[in-house]
Amino acid sequence: MAAKKKQNNNHSRNLIAKLNPKAVASEQYRTIRTNIQFSAVDHQIKTILVTSSGAGEGKSTTAANLAIVFAQQGKKTLLIDADMRKPTVHYTFNVMNAKGLTNVLTRQAELEDVRHETDVKNLHVMSSGPIPPNPSELLGSHGMNAFLEYAKEHYDMIVFDTPPVLAVTDAQILANQCDGSILVVRSRVADKERAMKAKELLTSAKARILGAVLNDKKMEGGDEYYYYYGN
């Protein structure tokens, strides 16, 4: 029990946009939010997919903080854990994972049954639910299409946390259904070749890539980290 509580606390500390809105990293998340909105001049963006080339690059942290800054702007926001292989959203926000996205896609529950309120105004989260044997098939199902249309009627912004692109096909399948995708690249972890391969896979899936987030990069003259968004 103590170990589980410690794990929850470790995940929660990643929510910098909520815990310290004046931090440098929090400001960079707001910059990412602004850039996403600028990119939506001719194309409304309501559904965003966040992924990375490999594990440990910070995609889940980025997805969670992006959802927070959209909610802080007054947008009704839903963060969905679409990583149905190694889910973390329920740890980050300390919610139950008995039911979630899996149950909705298999028509065992409705959105209202599985979403969780958070202590961030305007933000709901949906955990993955039980880990299924066929995550890719569920994400590409008619049930996913129907769920997306329903969710877009009830939320201003929907953010998906997905598995790494190079590991499984889940992100590619879902990217085709989202208005935009963001690739998280961690400094000193991801190499250029892997990042470019991830971009190519998303492009081949007809994803609309909004840009990349450079994560965990030391700033000159200090120990702060910054997050960078660019095309």
pLDDT in tens, 112-135: 999 999 999 999 999 999 999 999
Are residues 36 and 45 in contact, defined by beta-carbon separation less than 8 angstroms?
yes
Compute the distance between CA of residue 208 and CA of residue 202 in angstroms, rounded to an integer.
8
Selection from 228, 139, 212, 126 nearest residue 178 by Cα: 139
Q: What is the third-level CATH fold of 2-230?
A: Rossmann fold (3.40.50)
Compute the distance between CA of residue 23 and CA of residue 33 in angstroms, rounded to an integer.
16
Query: Across-strand partners of 126?
Result: 80, 115
Are residues 35 and 168 in contact, defined by beta-carbon separation less than 8 angstroms?
no
pLDDT in tens, 164-207: 999 999 999 999 999 999 999 887 776 788 889 999 999 999 99
Structure tokens of 26?
Answer: 């929090």
Whether the per-residue pLDDT at 160 is higher than 80: the answer is: yes
Compute the distance between CA of residue 122 and CA of residue 60 in angstroms, rounded to an integer.
19
Statement: the pTM of the whole predicted model exceeds 0.85: yes
Selection from 143, 17, 119, 120 nearest residue 129 by Cα: 143
**What is the reported pLDDT for 50?**
97
In sequence order, the 6+-apart residues with CB closer than 8 A to the CB of 2 are none
pLDDT in tens, 12-61: 668 999 999 999 889 999 999 999 988 877 778 999 999 999 888 889 99
* Residue 230 φ/ψ, nearest 5 degrees: -160, 165
pLDDT in tens, 209-231: 999 988 876 655 544 444 544 44
**What is the reported pLDDT for 5?**
46
SS3 222: coil
DSSP code at position 127 = -
